[in-house]
Structure formats: structure tokens, C-alpha cells
Amino acid sequence: MGALLKPEFWEMVIVAEPRSLGIVAVFLVAFVLGPLFCGWLCAAGAFSELLSRLVPERFQIDIAGKVNAGAIRYGLLTGFVTLPFMGLHAGCAYCNYRVLDYLGIAMTSGFIPALTSTYIVIIALWIVVGGLFMKGGRGWCNFLCPIGAVENLAYRGGTRLGFTFKLRYIPEKCKSCPNCLEVCPMRAISLAGEGQWETSRGGNCSGYENCVAALAAAVASAGVAGRTAGRRRRLLIACVIVVGLALYGLLEAWKRELIPVPG
């Protein structure tokens, strides 16, 4: 742990593997702006969500209000981060992004990479059960994604501060229409009783803001210190994405020695 405090360690990380800094950036952005990567940028989640629209809802599993996704996802996260201390790791063997990469290679080049039994299980859970036959198509995101779990932890911590963006739900102004429930792919909103709705309180919200778009601003909104952000937040998100991509390109150029590393 002491190595994390040494400048030489971070210099080595920046030069040798700049993409690892992207993970840190994802969590910092989640703390201030919400889980943007999950809701706005994640290709794996978007792919399974798209596939879910191919299957009629009557054949799909709806977990809203029926399953405690948080208990499963955070329990799995605990096991995931504990493995290295026992000399084990899940890493790439437990990664739907790598499988997505393999699928892209197969579709664009005609070459089909060898799929291990682990990857076959991932395809079954991510694409079939959690995608095609899960309402919203975000089954993997809800239960099995460690990045999403850490993002939501960061988001929940950030919501306690006044300067961070957050989704707000005002139950006393709710008219008990099902609009927000129907448009939430994470199934983070559920019916608590007659005329009452409940949310996951950030436990598995991905910051889509579909609920904000489906309801009046008085019922649900996204903003800072109670003020609705709207366009300002979207502009800030766009700036974060552009700056992030620019920095990533710069770090990759350093790694490939296309430009000299300062000092």
C-alpha cells in the first residue's frame, strides 16, 4: 500500500499502463456526477439492453421489487476484491467486456477466438439470461458487474455532499403512475404499496435519468443542492467525455513513444 503514495509508482502506471488511470477517473466521476460510465458509456451494458428489446416482455424476468440485487452484487464484489489476498484472481476470466471484444473480432474479421468454459458461462448469464430474458436487459449490471458496484458505492458517497449531482425523488408529489418504473432498465424503482413507490437509493441506479424524462421535474430531478441541472449537467458530461478521451489518447501516445514523456 505504501507504493501508492510514491510518485515513482504513478509515473510507472502512466507510462506503462495509462488505461488503469481510466478506472480511477471512472470512480471519481461517479462520486461527483453519478455513475455515468454505466448509464451513458458502457458498451457491454448497452449491448445486452439492446438485445432485451428483441424479446416480448411477457417472456422476460422483471426483478423490480422482487430481488435484493444489492446484496448479491456487493457480496460478489467483496469476493472479487478478496481473491488477490488469497493468491487468486478472477480478472479477465470474469469479464463480459473481453467476451464483447471477442464477439467484435468474430463479426469483423471472421476469426472466432477460442472460448473457454468461463466465457461460455458469461455469455449465458450476460447475453441470454441477463440480456434477452431480463426486462431492461441489465441483469449482468445489476448482479455481477464489479465496476458498476464500485461506481454505485462512489455515487452513494457523493450524494451526501452538497456540491455533487444527484437524482432526487420526492415521494409526496408522486401520483403513483408507472412511468418511471417502466423506463428504468436497471429496475431500480418498484411498487412499495398502494400509491407508494420506492427506489434503490443509489444501490443500483445507473444515472440514466429516464425517470426524470418520464416524470414532472417536481417529482424527480437531477441537479446540485436541490437545483435541477438539465442542460448544464449534459454539457459538463460532454466536456468530461471529451477531456477524458483526449487524456487517454495523450497517455497512449506516451506509451507508444510517439511523443516524449516530460522529464
List pLDDT tens digits, range 163-220.
Answer: 787 777 777 777 777 788 888 888 888 776 655 666 665 478 887 777 777 765 555 5
Give the pLDDT confidence of 212-230 residue by residue, as tens digits. 777 655 555 555 544 445 5
Break the chain into its structural domains and give their ranges. 20-167, 230-263
Q: Nearest CA to 189 among 162, 217, 209?
A: 209
Q: What is the residue-averaged pLDDT of the chain?
A: 76
Q: Nearest CA to 142 among 66, 41, 193, 194?
A: 66
Residue 244 confidence (pLDDT) above 90:
no
Cβ of 29: how many Cβ atoms within 10 Å?
22
pTM to 2 decimal places: 0.77
